[in-house]
Structure 1
Amino acid sequence: MCTGVIMISDLTEKVLRSNIIYRGRILNLRVDTVELPDGRTAKREIVEHTGAVIIVPVKQDGQLLLVRQYRSATGRTALELPAGNIEPGEELESAALRELQEETGYKAKELVRLCSFFSTPGFSDEELHLFFASGLTLLNQNLDDDEFVEVLTVPWENAIQMIWSGEICDAASVAGILAVDSYMKNRL
């Protein structure tokens, strides 16, 4: 045991005050004043988000569908899995099927929920729900008015290599592709 390390069994922070400083279309920003486990106070800046679904759509021939779009936050065009926000009251599976068709134009015959995880728990409550989609049928792409998305088909092994080369670099897509890679290997 290191000297000088204090072991605290309850790490819970008690919220003393909460103040929403921004309300937006897809997120809110609040500042909480919290009481720390040792009794001191601190500020926490929290991004509130309704959550999102991420879909890993794999065609019958093993090709992965990806979307390419410009991301203002990074100032770059990104190669990502189809994903999107969950509407208030919407079931997760319905959100996943809706986002898959909106962004790629495909409908899934089979949808498997694999896991859920927090995107960045240090400052956001956004929870992401990961789905594996197969049995794909092409219908019509139905993008939002402010969305410009290009759909790409990539061989599965190329997608894995694109993670390691940095071509696919958003956390949700990396986690999703690697999770489905493990899921598919364990199914065989």
Structure 2
Amino acid sequence: MGSPALPSDGAQDDAHLRETCLSTELVEQGKFLQWRRDRVQLPDGREAVREYVVHPGAVMIVAVLPDGRLVMERQFRYPVGMTMIEFPAGKLDPGEGGLACAQRELLEETGYRAQRWAKAGVMHPVIGYATEFIEIWLAEGLTLEERHLDEGEFLDVFAASQQELEDWMTQGRLTDAKTIVGMMWLQQWRAGAWQPDWQDVATTG
């Protein structure tokens, strides 16, 4: 997938848009999230306050079974009070790379190991109030082992076809933003508009 055209005539200077941090304050430290309040200087010289959540980053895995169906999860998400249909995903541990995290999360949550992996891209799901980014990974060559959920983690694992997921999206049953973005990459790949850069990874150990 090529880079989108800029709205200008090619100039990439964004100095007239940038905000500069003047001071930062830790408002609250949670188990793995921070809430910060910064004082910033606007491009016109005035000052403003920006409040945001610091997130360690995460990965999402579009895992393809031998029959072409996708590995999916159903999980209750407390902030929205709903059970959501999602691709497997999880947050990065300190110092952990994206691929290592994707391998770990896929095994822990679903019990699957994958032989082939390819990074599709990165998304920023909540740019207005959080630093969170999500790396999107594709996985093939799956073998099923035993999953190891974290304490207090409850989720169902099931398989669904691309058509089923597309239908659920149009029906409003699948509304998770990261999963919808993962579907975009899957559709581009299967349509031949984009080719993943696959790498083989040992499935033992």
TM-score by length of 1: 0.92
Shift in Å, 1:110: 0.7
Shift in Å, 1:184: 2.2
Taking the aligned partners of 2:67 and 2:185, their CA distance within structure 1 comes to 19
Shift in Å, 1:26: 2.2
Give 1:104's aligned residue.
110
Asked if structure 2 preserves the Cα contact closer than 8 Å seen for 1:160 and 1:178, the reply is no
Q: How does 1:14-163 map to 2 (within 5 A)?
A: 14-163=20-169
Taking the aligned partners of 2:157 and 2:38, their CA distance within structure 1 comes to 40
Taking the aligned partners of 1:156 and 1:62, their CA distance within structure 2 comes to 8
How many residue pairs end up in the alignment?
Answer: 180
Shift in Å, 1:152: 1.1
> SS of 1:73's equivalent?
helix
Shift in Å, 1:24: 1.1
Q: Which has the higher strand share?
A: 1
Letter of the 2:162 partner, please give it. Answer: W
Identity of aligned residues (%): 36
4+ residue segments displaced more than 3 Å = none
Give the aligned CA root-mean-square deviation in angstroms. 1.2
Taking the aligned partners of 1:72 and 1:27, their CA distance within structure 2 comes to 16
Taking the aligned partners of 1:162 and 1:55, their CA distance within structure 2 comes to 19
Taking the aligned partners of 1:11 and 1:98, their CA distance within structure 2 comes to 39
Q: Deviations over 1:63-108 (max 9, x none)?
A: 1111001110000111111000000111110000100111111111
Taking the aligned partners of 2:79 and 2:32, their CA distance within structure 1 comes to 14
Unaligned runs of 5+ in 2: 1-13, 196-205
